[in-house]
Amino acid sequence: MSSLPNPPSFDLTGKRALVTGASSGIGLGCAVALAAAGAHVVCAARRVEALQEAVNAMAGKGWSAEAMALDQTDLEAIGEAFAEPFDVVLNSAGMARHSAAVETSATDFDAVMGINLRGAYFLSAEAAKALMAAGRGGSIIHISSQMGHVGGTDRALYCASKHGLEGMVKAMAVEWGKAGIRINTICPTFVRTALTQATFDDPARFAWIMEKIKLPRVAEVDDISGAAVYLASDASAMVTGSALMIDGGWTAD
């Protein structure tokens, strides 16, 4: 054989990435993974102290990162964050307030939608606008959820926000494809983090989770961050408008 196919590259050297919700959990895991793959990562969240601690630890590994205070409900601040375009934008900022649908308050509805959908929408739009102005393509990635594809008890509000996010991403992929801007979602099942530990500690809820997940465990942050590198890199150059399910088979039936 005279030549072999080119292997895919997951190298992000020279890329500039913004990760929101980067102070803990999935956001921090994805920020670390992108930095380890060679990107300069701007870690954004509201908790500046936690961000700076993470950035210092990443620098200690020889990776390139900086902290940015960002409230994703502040549309003016989102616009200012894109004074320069980012090659990769990964949105991990999110909120969940679970209750029976008939008990959902307007305050909770507005809070969840404000971050999960409104904030995600305008973050995407500003990211794309900056890339278009620079005449460049890029990759926008949203941490969505398996609950963007199914329903769940006491999760009508959260499901509404994530189903909306999935539809938004598909429409934006259609609109921005010719500009070389890709946009996709990552849809995890329940991931073990400090915020979800209380759910896992509830025997009834944990039994429900393990009944739905086909693999014999819940997800860890490391299960999600590899997908972030894939969607950020040229290895996924032909992927847009897609949802990458990391749900242990939850949505398989």
Of 89, 98, 88, nearest to 190 (Cα)? 98
Longest dimension (CA), the chain: 67
**Catalytic status, residue 230:** no
How big is the CA angle at 128 (ends 147 and 230), to the nearest 5 degrees? 55
Asked whether the beta carbons of 29 and 219 are under 8 A apart, the reply is no
Compute the distance between CA of residue 180 and CA of residue 234 in angstroms, rounded to an integer: 12
User: Which residue in the list 63, 86, 158, 176 is annotated as catalytic?
Assistant: 158
Coil, helix or strand at residue 35: helix
Residue closest to 86 by CA, chosen among 51, 120, 127, 55: 127
The closest of 48, 46, 17, 53 to 34, measured between CA atoms, is 17
Active site residues: 158
